[in-house]
Amino acid sequence: MGKGFTLVEIAIVLVVVGLLMGGVLKGQEMIVNAKLKRIESDHSGISAAMFSYQDRYRQLPGDDSEVQSRFDLYTTLNPVDVNGNGQGTIEGSWDANNITSLSTAGGVETEKFFAHLRAAGLIPGGGLETTRPTNAYGGLIGIQDGALLIAGHTTVFGQLEGAIVKIIEARLDDGKPDSGRIQSDQTGQPMAGGGMSLATDYTDSLRYNVALRL
């Protein structure tokens, strides 16, 4: 008859398994915290860049009506592709087309926002590049005036997981997707106009577009 495990050996195995499970859970927690900090950092960085641009040039990036004469790299481009209308708001849907070049951007100011910031040296990249950054969960980051029920400009983070949005809401707002300075809708829904549909609760397994007031 073979020798069985002693109580001491079983205890050692249980301790090792417990340590391994604890390490895995701690690692997952660290990853989630790092992603949350990146989202908060991206929001703060975009806000700081936008207001720095406004302080420097007295116009908003994307909406700047004098940007063609402001930066030499824009002098040969069509003014419609480069300039905003200077009316004080960054117009257009946050995820309009994700155009990658100002030469094909047309008149949508939200598509010019990041290009103007890049031309001013306030965020990394070239001033002809309109590509939106991606967030920690792989979705796009954009700008929209009047997203959902939020008055004023917002940064929008696309494709965030419901479980993560709950944490962001708990840390920064009121925990509700349809009120406060942070509001959300499910992926694929418009964030303004007659088709707008705010989420009424967060589900861990779903993804959301999340607007944060600037």
Condensed to tens digits (0 to 9), the pLDDT of residues 110-149 reads 989 999 999 999 999 989 888 889 999 999 999 999 999 9
User: Which architecture does CATH list for 34-213?
Assistant: 2-Layer Sandwich (3.30)
Checking if the pLDDT of 186 tops 90, the result is no
**How much is the average pLDDT of 1-8?**
64
C-beta neighbour count of 103 within 10 angstroms: 14
Checking if the pLDDT of 207 tops 80, the result is yes
Instruction: Please tell me the predicted confidence (pLDDT) of residue 30.
Output: 81
Instruction: Please tell me the predicted confidence (pLDDT) of residue 40.
Output: 92
Condensed to tens digits (0 to 9), the pLDDT of residues 41-78 reads 999 999 999 999 999 999 999 999 999 999 999 999 88
**CA–CA gap between residue 109 and residue 89 (Å, rounded):** 9
Band of pLDDT at residue 106, cut at 50, 70 and 90: low
Tokens of 187: 């992926």
Condensed to tens digits (0 to 9), the pLDDT of residues 149-176 reads 999 999 999 999 999 999 999 989 999 9
**CA–CA gap between residue 148 and residue 178 (Å, rounded):** 8
Checking if the pLDDT of 29 tops 90, the result is no
Proportion of the chain above pLDDT 70, given as a percent: 83
Nearest partner of 126 among 108, 150, 146, 100, judged by Cα: 100
Which range, of 27-31, 36-40, 45-49, 179-183, averages the lowest pLDDT? 27-31
Nearest partner of 69 among 56, 122, 77, judged by Cα: 77
Q: In which residue are the tokens 């300075």 written?
A: 181
Reported pTM: 0.83
Domain boundaries, the chain: 34-213
